[in-house]
Amino acid sequence: MRKANNLPAWLSDIAKEGVPRYLAIADAAERAIESGALRSGDQLPPLRALAKELGLDAGTASRAYSEIHRRGLTTGQVGRGTFVRRRKPDAPTSLWQASTTNLIDLSHNFPESAPMNPAAALVSAASEGLLDSNLLLSCQADSGHLSHRQVMARWLEATSRTRVTPDDLLITTGAQHGVLLGIQAVTQPSDIVLVESATYFGTLGAVRFLGRRPMPVTIDEKGLVSEALERAFVETGARVMVCNPTLQNPTTAVMDLDRRASIARVCRRFDATIIEDDAYVLLHAPHLPSLCSLAPERTLYVTSFAKVLGCGPRVGLMRAPSHLVGRLGIGLRSTSLMAPTPMVELMCRLVTSGGIEQLAQARRLQLAERQVWAGEILGSTPAQRHPGAYHAWLPIGDWGSERFVVTARERGVAVTPGAIFSAEVEVRNAAVRICVCAAIDKASLQQALHVLLQLIEESPYDSPTAHPSVA
């Protein structure tokens, strides 16, 4: 590849050993957008000019621009060229913006308005004397103290229905951390990672943060579709898949045993690695056999206690095939050194005393009640719901999800746009995620749902919202 003389600075050095040229160009564009060197509305060089200056054939240059577009970075305008598009948010805006007065925030699970677990007193009791031990405060144990891993291995074995030993268990700083470590351990930069067609924005963020490429696979009311997964393996050459089989975020789908067995068979046939994000497992009773129990030799199983207690403790568990434990340990040390030991001790106390199951049961009852309240308003709509889920997934008709969210917020309700759950450039079947456990009480939840349904009935084209570019 010869040096370019008449192209923007961000294209001045795109040589990358071992990376195809079209990917090197796409990676350079993405870095430039992330750094601010390219901004929304900036025009990319014409295709022929790019090919000429970089000494490429037209097919390679075209493939580079197609890849940039596939990543959601650009939009094409016939007769005008290729332009940097406004980036989709990668998380609900309420996670970093201060809440406005009287806003009913249903955009994530744990805003300040969200009720505590009704059995939270169990946590206070288990916390007594927690900081009295010098061992917990000063001793380094990267993958977790052996005594902690022994307790957690016994508990996880029963929960996941998979053989778990202390030697193949790592204690992480939450399930999100575990998913990131798993992706990092089994892929290389620019690799394709298969994800659900609507998938948790934290998973998409982890894939992109590591320089991998998320590729969507069709899901239905039971989660990943086996035939679609098989096609994706054939067409993309990918050999890693991330999925959320229980109370899937955002759609609430639950894989039944037949579907889980089918997914495991497909992954075994293609010698693919499964990263199983089972963060909601404690909210579904009885527990279903995990994908890990069906294909333990190729599955990284990840879970945590956040959906029972809240996101504060930051304790996750990862069971991994033995040949990956060392690599995962390196990643763990590099990213957090170790999980917060006092919090791990607290979780072990709750596991040993049976407090975790009591907390899980209390949370399941709380969520079931919230879903009943939501059903009184959403019952006649095509919203996807489940008695054990934090969420409802609500189709919004002709609205684009981001524009709908902006308008809803102006009317006092915050929800999450479906667009941020998609790895695709153009999002079809627009929907929003509603966190039913986030409102302070029944009246607030139902008031917010009435606002959303009224908005769906209105035409988006008549909305005065000053964001016409948001689709």
Are residue 349 and residue 370 in the same domain, yes or no?
Answer: no
What is the per-residue pLDDT across 369-427, written as a single tens digit (0 to 9) for each? 999 999 999 999 999 999 999 999 999 988 888 889 999 999 999 999 998 998 876 55
For the ranges 111-125, 277-291, 299-313, which has the lowest average pLDDT?
Answer: 111-125
Are residue 375 and residue 455 in the same domain, yes or no?
Answer: yes
- Exposure string of 341-380, with b = 16+ CB inside 10 Å and e = fewer, is bebbbbbbbbbeeebbbbbbebbbebbeebbebbbebbee
- The answer to whether position 414 is within a domain reads yes
- The answer to whether position 130 is within a domain reads no
Phi, psi dihedrals of residue 451, rounded to the nearest 5°: -60, -45
Domain count of the chain?
Answer: 3
pLDDT confidence band for 6 (50 / 70 / 90): low
- The answer to whether position 135 is within a domain reads no
Instruction: Return the closest-CA partner of residue 211 out of 243, 180, 239, 242.
Output: 180
pLDDT of residue 464: 55
Instruction: Return the closest-CA partner of residue 458 out of 419, 391, 411, 392.
Output: 411
Are residue 148 and residue 237 in the same domain, yes or no?
Answer: yes
pLDDT of residue 109: 87
Which tops the pLDDT comparison, 434 or 136? 434
Q: Could you say which of 353, 374, 395 is where a domain stops?
A: 353
- The answer to whether position 43 is within a domain reads yes
Whether the predicted pLDDT of 91 surpasses 70: no
pLDDT of residue 24: 85
Are residue 317 and residue 192 in the same domain, yes or no?
Answer: yes
Are residue 167 and residue 255 in the same domain, yes or no?
Answer: yes
Mean pLDDT of 283-294: 93
pLDDT confidence band for 12 (50 / 70 / 90): confident
pLDDT confidence band for 190 (50 / 70 / 90): confident
pLDDT of residue 97: 54
Structure tokens at 96: 């970093």
Structure tokens at 307: 């959906």
Are residue 74 and residue 148 in the same domain, yes or no?
Answer: no
Query: Are 98 and 53 a contacting pair, CB within 8 Å?
Result: no
Q: Judging by beta carbons within 10 Å of its beta carbon (0-12, 13-18, 19+), is residue 134 exposed, middle or buried?
A: exposed
Whether the predicted pLDDT of 270 surpasses 90: yes
Are residue 263 and residue 311 in the same domain, yes or no?
Answer: yes
Are residue 280 and residue 385 in the same domain, yes or no?
Answer: no
Mean pLDDT of 101-130: 84
Are residue 103 and residue 76 in the same domain, yes or no?
Answer: no
What's the per-residue H, E or C state across the chain?
CCCCCCCCHHHCCCCCCCCCHHHHHHHHHHHHHHHCCCCCCCECCCHHHHHHHHCCCHHHHHHHHHHHHHCCCEEEECCCEEEECCCCCCCCHHHCCCCCCCCEECCCCCCCCCCCCCCCHHHHHHCCCCCCCHHHHHCCCCCCCHHHHHHHHHHHHHHHCCCCCHHHEEEECCHHHHHHHHHHHHCCCCCEEEEECCCCHHHHHHHHHCCCEEEEECEECCEECHHHHHHHHHHHCCCEEEECCCCCCCCCCCCCHHHHHHHHHHHHHCCCEEEEECCCHHHCCCCCCCHHHHCHHHEEEEEECHHHHCCCCCCEEEECCHHHHHHHHHHHHHHCCCCCHHHHHHHHHHHHHCHHHHHHHHHHHHHHHHHHHHHHHHCCCCCECCCCCCEEEEECCCCCHHHHHHHHHHCCEECEEHHHHCCCCCCCCCEEEEECCCCCCHHHHHHHHHHHHHHHHCCHHHCCCCCCCCC
Helix 21-35 × helix 47-54 angle, to 10°: 110
Looking up residue 394, the CATH number of its domain turns out to be 3.90.1150.10
Q: Could you say which of 332, 353, 374 is where a domain stops?
A: 353
Which tops the pLDDT comparison, 293 or 286? 293
Looking up residue 164, the CATH number of its domain turns out to be 3.40.640.10
Structure tokens at 54: 């970089």
What is the per-residue pLDDT across 433-446, written as a single tens digit (0 to 9) for each? 999 999 999 999 99
Are residue 411 and residue 297 in the same domain, yes or no?
Answer: no
For the ranges 58-72, 122-136, 354-368, 439-453, which has the lowest average pLDDT?
Answer: 122-136
Q: Could you say which of 311, 338, 353 is where a domain stops?
A: 353
Are residue 40 and residue 103 in the same domain, yes or no?
Answer: no
- The answer to whether position 125 is within a domain reads no
C-alpha pair distances (Å), 121 with each of 233, 276, 309, 355, 359: 48, 31, 11, 10, 10
What pairing do the DSSP bridges indicate for beta strands 169-172 and 104-105?
A: unpaired
Q: For residue 99, give its domain range.
A: 93-117+357-462
For the ranges 9-23, 195-209, 240-254, 267-281, which has the lowest average pLDDT?
Answer: 9-23
- The answer to whether position 299 is within a domain reads yes
pLDDT confidence band for 180 (50 / 70 / 90): very high
Sign of the Cα torsion 345, 351, 352, 354 reads positive
pLDDT of residue 128: 82
Instruction: Return the closest-CA partner of residue 269 out of 231, 321, 304, 301.
Output: 231
Terminal C-alpha separation, the chain: 38
- The answer to whether position 124 is within a domain reads no
pLDDT confidence band for 228 (50 / 70 / 90): very high
- The answer to whether position 312 is within a domain reads yes
Are residue 345 and residue 256 in the same domain, yes or no?
Answer: yes
Looking up residue 41, the CATH number of its domain turns out to be 1.10.10.10
Instruction: Return the closest-CA partner of residue 435 out of 393, 402, 397.
Output: 393
Structure tokens at 128: 């007594």
